[in-house]
Copies of this chain bind each other. A is one copy, B any other.
């Protein structure tokens, strides 16, 4: 493994390879025998679990309940909402049969042709259709509203080009689906949830994000408005990290979900949906990590502190272990997760490299001189700064350092992101910045899909969002010269 560690491709050499190496070598995920589907390994899953825990609590704190809906959706459901069918239900896994049988001509099993389904079932790419078909039975009067449901689930979209976490055929996510009496209430919900995502990204992932509206062509299929959080990766490409959709009455109309309102009249229900996925793992990895491996925000690190005794002989090990276990117990009492690594079959240097690769925020190493002198070596992962500190007061120091690191990597990512936002006045400049610098570009746009399409075709850059806090500013579209009232945010993206 020490050898493998060194083989981590550097970001400068090949960013994409660096990312893939990192995911595999840090033990986060790997490809499986099924094309496009990944295996999330224990260390990667432990990070995802921490994300889930935090998000789930935020959803509950905002009044949502979890539920679970079927993985299969009847094919006909996708045709019910006109825009939805265009955007979804094309590249997806189709179940056509429900039985295998022994191959009459040899060994193995074959699909039983007698077990063909009358109507094919689609493995959910998203659940609006099956959920709104269910809500129809739950909603009769305004007294049944709002419905504030979330589900944690797996979904499948048959992607041709897949990348671990960023784009996989199967991925894990949560999808919130809410139903409301009024347009205003549904819009407020969609806004509230993009706010939850922004807070989660910033406070837990140390990931600065820009909140905005998607343009018409980038909007979710079936939505009247899509809010997004957009993050910037170290290679200057944007990553859409979460979306929250105001669905209007589109799905209520498609599935005939009406309710008696406070005036006693029938009306269609207003809807939102919102989701984040294991794609966030990709964002987390790419936003902070370096050529030595992962850099994890302490709040999401499965192991926050690793302790390594550097010893000769069993007696020294016993003495060090006793000291380290005392410190570990104190750290655990403060809710800090600790691992003591006493393996004797790998060298200390190997251990150091391994925990750097895995992004453990704080490393404590104790040598003979530390044991004798009551000190310990303390290294923080983000800066790799090394210092020898007294064991006395260590617990407070570690606690302080973890909090500081959570903040510091956010500030570092924000400073980078801010440096990488460029305002441009012409299409020439736009193209030059895209190629030479990358990052986000704020430019004027005439609001038409034609211009958007042209830019996308010529530069591969898309409108990431129309930022919610974009100030009004008169200008002209860099392509058409038509008037524009605010700048929008462009970037090449994942």
Q: Which residue of B lies closest to A138 (CB)?
A: B41
Are B65 and A109 neighbours in the complex by a CB distance under 8 Å?
no
In the complex, what distance in Å separates the CA atom of A79 from the CA atom of B39?
22
In the complex, what distance in Å separates the CA atom of A304 from the CA atom of B144?
23
Determine, out of A69-77, A220-228, A245-253, the stretch whose residues face the partner at the interface.
A69-77
Give every chain B residue within 8 A of A76 (Cβ-Cβ). Answer: 108
- A332 on the B face (CB < 8 A): no
Give every chain B residue within 8 A of A72 (Cβ-Cβ). Answer: 34, 37, 93, 170
- A91 on the B face (CB < 8 A): yes
- A130 on the B face (CB < 8 A): yes
Are B98 and A95 neighbours in the complex by a CB distance under 8 Å?
no
In the complex, what distance in Å separates the CA atom of A338 from the CA atom of B392?
43
Give every chain B residue within 8 A of A133 (Cβ-Cβ). Answer: 33
Are A70 and B122 neighbours in the complex by a CB distance under 8 Å?
no
14 A-B residue pairs with Cβ-Cβ distance under 8 Å, sorted by A, are A33-B77, A33-B130, A39-B70, A42-B67, A45-B68, A70-B170, A72-B93, A72-B170, A78-B100, A79-B107, A93-B98, A95-B123, A100-B122, A143-B345
Are A34 and B100 neighbours in the complex by a CB distance under 8 Å?
no
Q: Mark A464-487, 1 if CB is under 8 A from B, else 0.
A: 000000000000000000000000
- Closest approach, in angstroms, between the C-beta of A318 and any C-beta of chain B? 23
Give every chain B residue within 8 A of A109 (Cβ-Cβ). Answer: 75, 78-79, 85, 89-90
Q: Which residue of B lies closest to A122 (CB)?
A: B100
Give every chain B residue within 8 A of A99 (Cβ-Cβ). Answer: 90-92, 94, 158
In the complex, chain A residues 168-194 whose Cβ is within 8 Å of any chain B Cβ: 170, 172
Are B39 and A71 neighbours in the complex by a CB distance under 8 Å?
no
Q: Which residue of B lies closest to A82 (CB)?
A: B107
Number of this chain's copies in the assembly equals: 2
Known: A72-B170, A130-B33. A93 touches B121 (CB 8 A): yes
Q: Which of B37, B93, B98 contacts A91 (CB 8 A)?
A: B98
Are B111 and A94 neighbours in the complex by a CB distance under 8 Å?
yes
In the complex, chain A residues 29-58 whose Cβ is within 8 Å of any chain B Cβ: 30, 32-34, 37-42, 45-46, 48-49
- A488 on the B face (CB < 8 A): no
Are B92 and A94 neighbours in the complex by a CB distance under 8 Å?
no
Give every chain B residue within 8 A of A398 (Cβ-Cβ). Answer: none
Are B121 and A70 neighbours in the complex by a CB distance under 8 Å?
no
Give every chain B residue within 8 A of A71 (Cβ-Cβ). Answer: 37, 123, 154, 156, 170
- A149 on the B face (CB < 8 A): yes
Are A32 and B134 neighbours in the complex by a CB distance under 8 Å?
yes
Give every chain B residue within 8 A of A100 (Cβ-Cβ). Answer: 75, 78, 89-90, 92, 94, 122
Give every chain B residue within 8 A of A75 (Cβ-Cβ). Answer: 100, 109, 111
Q: Mark A117-145, 1 if CB is under 8 A from B, else 0.
A: 00011110000001001100100000100
Q: Which of B78, B111, B154 contacts A120 (CB 8 A)?
A: B111
- A101 on the B face (CB < 8 A): yes
Are B92 and A66 neighbours in the complex by a CB distance under 8 Å?
no
- A291 on the B face (CB < 8 A): no
- Closest approach, in angstroms, between the C-beta of A309 and any C-beta of chain B? 20
Count chain A residues whose beta carbon lies closer than 8 angstroms to a beta carbon of B: 64
- A339 on the B face (CB < 8 A): no
Are A46 and B34 neighbours in the complex by a CB distance under 8 Å?
no
Give every chain B residue within 8 A of A172 (Cβ-Cβ). Answer: 68
Q: Which residue of B lies closest to A143 (CB)?
A: B345
Q: Which residue of B lies closest to A41 (CB)?
A: B67
Are A96 and B98 neighbours in the complex by a CB distance under 8 Å?
no
Are A65 and B42 neighbours in the complex by a CB distance under 8 Å?
yes
- A97 on the B face (CB < 8 A): yes
Are B92 and A98 neighbours in the complex by a CB distance under 8 Å?
yes
Are A121 and B91 neighbours in the complex by a CB distance under 8 Å?
no
Known: A32-B69, A32-B70. A94 touches B98 (CB 8 A): yes
In the complex, what distance in Å separates the CA atom of A149 from the CA atom of B44?
13
Q: Which residue of B lies closest to A157 (CB)?
A: B98
In the complex, what distance in Å separates the CA atom of A126 from the CA atom of B92?
22
In the complex, what distance in Å separates the CA atom of A70 from the CA atom of B90?
21
Are A98 and B158 neighbours in the complex by a CB distance under 8 Å?
yes
Give every chain B residue within 8 A of A158 (Cβ-Cβ). Answer: 98-99
- Closest approach, in angstroms, between the C-beta of A425 and any C-beta of chain B? 42
Give every chain B residue within 8 A of A49 (Cβ-Cβ). Answer: 66
In the complex, chain A residues 302-356 whose Cβ is within 8 Å of any chain B Cβ: 345
10 closest Cβ pairs, A-B complex: A37-B70, A42-B65, A40-B68, A79-B108, A94-B97, A98-B158, A96-B96, A93-B95, A34-B70, A34-B72
Are A39 and B69 neighbours in the complex by a CB distance under 8 Å?
yes
In the complex, what distance in Å separates the CA atom of A40 from the CA atom of B67?
6
- Closest approach, in angstroms, between the C-beta of A36 and any C-beta of chain B? 9
Give every chain B residue within 8 A of A41 (Cβ-Cβ). Answer: 67
